[in-house]
């Protein structure tokens, strides 16, 4: 891996910003000093970019590290910042959302209309008993009401927990329980790949588990898929009967800057997802700053499109909070890229004149595979800036993206960040940075990044190691919901007061940063984070399975693919053909966790490679899964095991 990166770093092509782009760049016109003290830099951004009901006098309080407080004596309303102030300042007629449904229906919603919708929804939530600090789970397709729901929850100082619509009933239930959600907002169903996928029935199943004992008092349901749904009188409420009829008068109250805004669950190294907690003022500051400067946003003329779902952090920060705080006009699309035809994305770009596109390398690679003839059928000349997120972008995909989508001229920003960091941390600044395909490049102003060795010493010059953030930043996570110990252990124990990101990184001779992927047992599949431990525990929960080991194996399109090695219980071993057993277990994981976690391949084996202390040697299994020569086996108890596995697999 390091050798490959070294070659890339040496050969890498460079793309200096064009003179026209540089002359007009948003980041270039902000006269900041890169060396400015982080906290003061952010205080200036917070004052410039946001409306404070009560201005703050304190910037950063790190006295109770690692629990940061930013702008703590200031008060604001996040929803007011994303909506009302744009209307008050004369931008009410600007389009906030160009929404495109998968079947081809569409809606155009101005800032004034979105503000009204959110006020109505906030009034309904209040009628349903939602108070500041209450948790609301949101399980929805990508329709405008998903954003309205998030903003209405935020408006009341309550906390949303958006659960991606591809998660199973069981995954939804464990998130509802962990957060103690009082309300679930959902839809009957949504469109995906030409079909309606049910959501409300999944909510019903989730809430019925454990004898129906749970914290939820109401379920608010948007009608979208028109699929049949069961109705629980007294608990279930239709959105169109309540929100559409509610008053659109609602004055936003100010809340302290550290009021929790949302919880978002993400996979860690154990079987249990972590509820990452974000708060208001600091989060919104960094969301707005990065959205404006990294994407070179001209809010009055650009049409921005981030293809993420609101179920992920990218959707929170770069579909909802960043763009709306900045008063941007954006496109949101409900469906999959190939429905009903493989040119769907390009058709959308042409239809709305999208000028900024933010997507993931896995999508770019799938389009590359389909061929450049497809985008060539559409007019993409509106594009002027491209972004990438979720995993390292391979230089080949970078060049294709620039040439085919960006007419060979659009700058590409490769943005490194995490659910935990809340907003972009490392990225080129368009118009300022000379771009290098494959490198995320430089920490943003106000962000302090370092690369350390295992012992916590800084590596200097051209070298690789572990990526850390050395100073607190405004959109940092404030903890793991209900688990302060896990928060300290996961991110702060390894290097004391430095945040350990879990990623490996190398610095090149110019000081640019190249990400090398996770150094823990976390996989990255299509830019989504999955835990090996979570899928292993799902597999062993199946009565057929005695033991399971999961690895992320390199995959040309998805970055990594989930590959499982399973030993069946002796009593089950002869009952099914290995291919059948593997199919049953792949489906088991999809039902148990969600379709995104379904293993690409499951190998039924009779042994697993272990150390003398009984630890599964995942590294060797990765070699097998990737068809590589098997690495160092000196600590393996039984040298024959791998030969055996290899013959069973290939
Ligand atoms: C992990 C975070 C940030 C939103 C999407 C994923 C990987 C993310 C990049 C990039 C290389 C990247 C890292 C990180 N990652 N962006 N530009 N280059 N790697 O959020 O699910 O919290 O995953 O995604 O490994 O730790 P997430």
C-alpha of residue 556 to centroid of ligand 1, in Å: 17
Distance CA 415, CA 296 (A): 13
What is the average per-residue pLDDT within 11-31? Answer: 85
Mean pLDDT of all residues in 268-282: 94
Say if residue 66 is preceded by a cis peptide, omega within 30 of 0. Answer: yes
Q: Quick: pLDDT tens for 146-185.
A: 999 999 999 999 999 999 999 999 999 999 999 999 999 9
User: What's the CA-to-centroid distance between 558 and ligand 1, angstroms?
Assistant: 13
Distance between Cα 518 and ligand 1 center (Å): 9
**Model pLDDT, residue 2:** 64
Burial status of residue 460 (CB atoms within 10 A of its CB: 0-12, 13-18, 19 or more): exposed
Query: Per-residue pLDDT for 633 more than 80?
Result: no
HSE (CB half, 13 Å, CA atoms) of 405? 31
Of 517, 443, 625, the residue nearest 5 (C-alpha): 517
Ligand 1 pocket test target in 524, 525, 531 with most atoms within 8 Å of CB:
524
Nearest CA to ligand 1 atom 6: 390
Q: What residue has token string 């409306």?
A: 51
Q: Can you tell me the distance from the alpha carbon of 560 to that of 551, in angstroms, rounded to the nearest whole number?
A: 9
Nearest C-alpha to atom 24 of ligand 1 is from which residue? Answer: 390
Identify the band that residue 641 occupies on the pLDDT scale cut at 50, 70 and 90. confident
Instruction: Give me the pLDDT at residue 270, please.
Output: 85
Question: Which domains does the chain show, CATH number per domain?
Answer: 3-504 (3.40.50.12780), 526-649 (3.30.300.30)
In the DSSP assignment, the letter for residue 125 is H
**To test ligand 1's pocket by mutation, which of 515, 518, 525 has the most ligand atoms within 8 angstroms of CB?**
515
Whether residue 1 is predicted with pLDDT greater than 60 in this model: the reply is no
Q: For 332-384, what is each residue's pLDDT tens digit?
A: 999 999 999 999 999 999 999 999 999 999 999 999 999 999 999 999 999 99
- pLDDT for 34: 53
* Mutation test residue for ligand 1: of 527, 534, 552, the one with most atoms within 8 Å of CB: 527
Cα→Cα distances 481→160, 259, 270, 283, 478, Å: 12, 14, 15, 17, 9
Answer whether 359's CB lies under 8 Å from 380's CB.
Answer: no
Q: Is the dihedral of CA 314, 317, 321, 326 positive or negative?
A: negative
- Residue 415 alpha carbon, nearest atom of ligand 1: 17
Residue 604 pLDDT exceeds 80: yes
If phi > 0 it is left, if psi is from -120 to 50 it is alpha, else beta; for residue 82 that is alpha
Give yes or no for a contact between 140 and 190, defined as CB atoms under 8 angstroms apart.
yes
CA 178 – CA 576 distance, rounded (Å): 37
CA of 270 to the centre of ligand 1 (A): 18
Indicate which atom in ligand 1 lies nearest the CA of residue 517.
25
Distance separating alpha carbons of residues 409 and 427, to the nearest angstrom:
18
What is the pLDDT at residue 634? Answer: 72
Q: Which of 166, 364, 390, 527 has most ligand 1 atoms within 8 Å of CB, for mutation? A: 390
Which residue has tokens 């229906």?
105
pLDDT band at 650 (very low <50, low <70, confident <90, very high): low
98-155 confidence digits (pLDDT tens): 999 999 999 999 999 999 999 999 999 999 999 999 999 999 999 999 999 999 999 9
**Banded pLDDT at 562 (limits 50, 70, 90):** very high
pLDDT for position 157: 98
Instruction: Check residue 37 and give its pLDDT.
Output: 65
3-state secondary structure of 479: strand
C-alpha 523 to ligand 1 mean position (Å):
10
| Number of Cβ atoms within 10 Å of the Cβ of 529 | 21
Mean pLDDT, all residues of the chain = 94
Better-scored residue on pLDDT, 542 or 640? 542
Kindly indicate the confidence band of residue 28, based on its pLDDT and cuts at 50, 70 and 90. Answer: confident
Supply 508's token pair. 């090149």
pLDDT tens string 276-322? 999 999 999 999 999 999 999 999 999 999 999 999 999 999 999 99
649 confidence band (pLDDT: 50, 70, 90): confident
Q: Where are the beta strands (DSSP E) in 426-584?
A: 449-452, 463-469, 479-480, 499-507, 513-518, 522-525, 528-531, 545-555, 559-568
User: Edge-to-edge strand order for the sheet containing 95-100?
Assistant: 106-110, 95-100, 329-333, 303-306, 356-359, 385-389, 412-415
Which residue among 391, 419, 526, 534 has the greatest number of ligand 1 atoms within 8 angstroms of its CB, and so is best to mutate?
391
What gap in Å lies between CA 104 and CA 107, rounded to an integer? 10
What distance in Å separates the CA atoms of residue 231 and residue 583, rounded to the nearest whole number? Answer: 34
pLDDT at 410 over 90: yes
Q: Where do we find the tokens 């659960």? A: 163
Q: Spell out which residues line ligand 1, taking CB within 6 angstroms.
A: 266, 313-314, 389-392, 414-419, 440, 501-503, 515, 517-518, 524, 527, 529
Q: 493 alpha carbon to ligand 1 midpoint, in Å?
A: 21
* pLDDT over 90 (residue 642): no
Return the SS3 of 561.
Answer: strand
Is the pLDDT assigned to residue 49 strictly greater than 90? yes
Distance 529 CA to ligand 1 centre (A): 8
The torsion defined by the Cα of 292, 296, 301 and 303, in degrees rounded to 10, comes to -80
DSSP state at residue 286: H
Ligand 1 atom closest to residue 427's alpha carbon, by position in its atom list: 17
Please tell me the predicted confidence (pLDDT) of residue 32: 53
Task: Over range 463-474, report the average pLDDT.
Answer: 97
Nearest to 147 by CA among 219, 93, 222, 86: 222
Distance 418 CA to ligand 1 centre (A): 5
388 CA closest ligand 1 atom index:
17
Instruction: Answer yes or no: are the C-beta atoms of 97 and 144 closer than 8 Å.
Output: yes
31 pLDDT more than 60: no
293 C-alpha vs ligand 1 centroid, how far in Å?
A: 19
Q: Which two tokens stand for residue 57?
A: 């006098």
pLDDT band at 30 (very low <50, low <70, confident <90, very high): low
Q: What is the pLDDT of residue 209?
A: 96
């Amino acid at each position: 891996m390091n050798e490959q990166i070294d070659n890339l770093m040496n050969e890498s092509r460079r793309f200096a910003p064009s003179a026209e782009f540089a002359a007009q760049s948003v980041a270039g016109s902000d006269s900041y000093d890169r060396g400015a003290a982080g906290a003061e830099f952010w205080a200036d951004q917070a004052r410039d970019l946001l409306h404070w009901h009560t201005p703050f006098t304190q910037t950063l309080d790190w006295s109770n590290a690692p629990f940061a407080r930013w702008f703590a004596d200031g008060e604001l309303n996040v929803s007011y910042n994303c909506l009302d102030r744009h209307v008050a300042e004369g931008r009410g007629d600007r389009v906030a959302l160009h929404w495109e449904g998968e079947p081809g229906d569409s809606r155009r919603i101005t800032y004034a209309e979105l503000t009204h919708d959110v006020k109505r929804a906030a009034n309904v939530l209040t009628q349903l008993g939602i108070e500041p600090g209450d948790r609301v789970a949101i399980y929805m397709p990508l329709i405008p009401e998903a954003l309205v729901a998030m903003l209405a929850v935020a408006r009341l100082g309550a906390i949303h927990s958006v659960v991606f619509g591809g998660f199973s009933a069981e995954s939804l239930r464990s998130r509802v329980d962990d957060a103690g959600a009082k309300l679930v907002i959902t839809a009957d169903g949504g469109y995906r790949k030409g079909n309606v996928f049910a959501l409300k029935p999944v909510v019903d199943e989730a809430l019925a588990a454990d004898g129906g004992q749970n914290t939820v008092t109401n379920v608010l349901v948007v009608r979208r898929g028109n699929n049949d749904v069961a109705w629980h009188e007294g608990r279930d409420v239709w959105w169109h009967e309540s929100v559409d009829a509610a008053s659109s008068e609602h004055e936003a109250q100010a809340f302290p800057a550290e009021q929790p805004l949302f919880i978002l669950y993400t996979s860690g190294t154990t079987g249990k997802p972590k509820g990452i907690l974000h708060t208001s003022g600091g989060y919104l500051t960094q969301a707005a700053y990065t959205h404006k400067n990294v994407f070179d946003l001209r809010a009055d003329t650009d049409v921005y499109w981030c293809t993420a779902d609101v179920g992920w952090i990218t959707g929170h920060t770069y579909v909802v909070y960043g763009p709306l705080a900045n008063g941007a006009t954006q496109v949101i699309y409900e469906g999959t890229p190939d429905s009903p035809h493989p040119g769907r994305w390009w058709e959308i770009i042409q239809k709305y004149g999208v000028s900024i596109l933010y997507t993931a390398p896995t999508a770019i690679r799938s389009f590359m595979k389909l061929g450049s003839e497809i985008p060539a059928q559409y007019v993409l000349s509106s594009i002027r800036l491209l972004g990438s997120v979720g995993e390292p972008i391979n230089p080949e995909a970078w060049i294709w993206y620039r040439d085919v989508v960006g007419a060979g001229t659009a700058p590409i920003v490769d943005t490194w960040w995490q659910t935990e960091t809340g907003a972009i941390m490392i990225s080129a600044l368009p118009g300022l940075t000379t771009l290098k395909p494959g490198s995320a490049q430089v920490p943003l102003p106000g962000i302090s990044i370092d690369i350390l060795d295992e012992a916590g010493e800084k590596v200097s010059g051209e070298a690789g190691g572990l990526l850390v953030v050395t100073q607190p930043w405004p959109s940092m996570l404030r903890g793991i919901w209900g688990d302060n110990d896990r928060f300290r252990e996961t991110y702060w124990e390894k290097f004391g007061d430095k945040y350990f990101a879990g990623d490996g990184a190398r610095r090149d001779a110019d000081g640019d940063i190249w990400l090398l992927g996770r150094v823990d047992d976390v996989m990255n599949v299509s830019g989504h984070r999955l835990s090996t431990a979570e899928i292993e525990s799902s597999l062993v929960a199946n009565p057929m399975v005695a033991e399971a080991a999961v690895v992320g194996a390199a995959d040309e399109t998805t970055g990594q693919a989930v590959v499982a090695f399973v030993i069946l219980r002796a009593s089950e071993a002869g009952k099914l053909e290995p291919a059948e057993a593997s199919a049953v277990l792949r489906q088991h994981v999809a039902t148990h966790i969600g379709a995104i976690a379904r293993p690409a391949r499951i190998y039924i084996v009779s042994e697993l490679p272990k150390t003398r202390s009984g630890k599964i040697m995942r590294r060797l299994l990765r070699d097998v899964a990737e068809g590589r020569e098997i690495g160092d086996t000196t600590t393996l108890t039984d040298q024959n095991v791998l030969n055996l596995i290899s013959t069973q697999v290939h």
